[in-house]
Amino acid sequence: MFSQFEFVVASEKPSGAPHMPIEVRAELLSQAAGFSEAEVQDIELVICMMPSITVEVTCGTEGEEGVQEGGIITVQAWWACNKPTVWSVLFPMCNSTLSTRKKNCWFLLADENSNNVWFSQKVSFMDEASAVTAASKAIEETMEGSGANAKETSKAVREAVEKVKSGSRLVMGKFQAPAEGNYNLSCFLLCDSWLGCDKKTGVKVKVVK
């Protein structure tokens, strides 16, 4: 079975103009920036269109109680967008015409202290049918690889399907464990199209000899 070793997932508190109370933001824009009431309303309209992202990350090993040097770590992340339809809205291109542009995110797991990226993957917000198929296959392979029985595997797949239908999408990957030590990693989900739509969480990983 997929055994999660010592980890902590902690979402950082959102900051910046898009996360301010409307009244505070309006006052800041009008008094500090000198925007007119109409300009403030335009900004609010754009902010209402912007998507926001949530992400939950776990790291672990398949069939092991802990992580050893040189072992294989599996990272599993569920991410969701509160406005998935904006991933395919009209987007202005360089030739001054409007066309659709597929928007993506980059998932990064990094050690900021050493400036080292442990794992990276380009992800997109798949349609529900494709996401169900991909998540079911990934979870099934993970459970079977960890020695889980058919009942445990079926339960894990059902839970994954429920998460997809509730709006989440799965990102999974593997990488080799580093040298012994305690690592405070940062997980980033970076959008290539929307400013202020990025997300960061923290994950603590303990590696033993």
Q: How many CB atoms lie within 10 A of CB 65?
A: 9
pLDDT per residue as tens digits for the range 110-136: 999 898 999 999 988 888 999 999 999
The pair of structure tokens assigned to 195 is: 């400013």
Q: Report how far apart, in Å, the C-alpha atoms of 163 and of each of 48, 56, 91, 108, 111 are.
A: 25, 12, 29, 21, 28
The pair of structure tokens assigned to 169 is: 């999408």
Identify the weakest region by mean pLDDT among 129-138, 148-157, 198-207: 198-207
> Collapsing DSSP states into helix, strand and coil, what is residue 85?
helix
- Per-residue pLDDT at 172 exceeds 60: yes
* Domain with 157 in it: 2-208
Q: Please name which of 75, 56, 58 lies closest in space to residue 168, comparing C-alpha atoms.
A: 56
Whether this model's pTM surpasses 0.85: no
Identify the weakest region by mean pLDDT among 43-47, 99-103, 128-132, 157-161: 99-103
What amino acid is encoded at 106 in this protein? Answer: W
What amino acid is encoded at 200 in this protein? Answer: K
- Per-residue pLDDT at 193 exceeds 90: no
The pair of structure tokens assigned to 66 is: 């802990």
In the chain, how many domains are there? 1
Stretch 174-182: mean pLDDT: 89
CA 174, distance to chain mean position in Å, is 16
- Which CATH number goes with the domain that contains 195? 2.60.40.150
The continuous run of DSSP H or E covering 154 comes out as helix 150-165
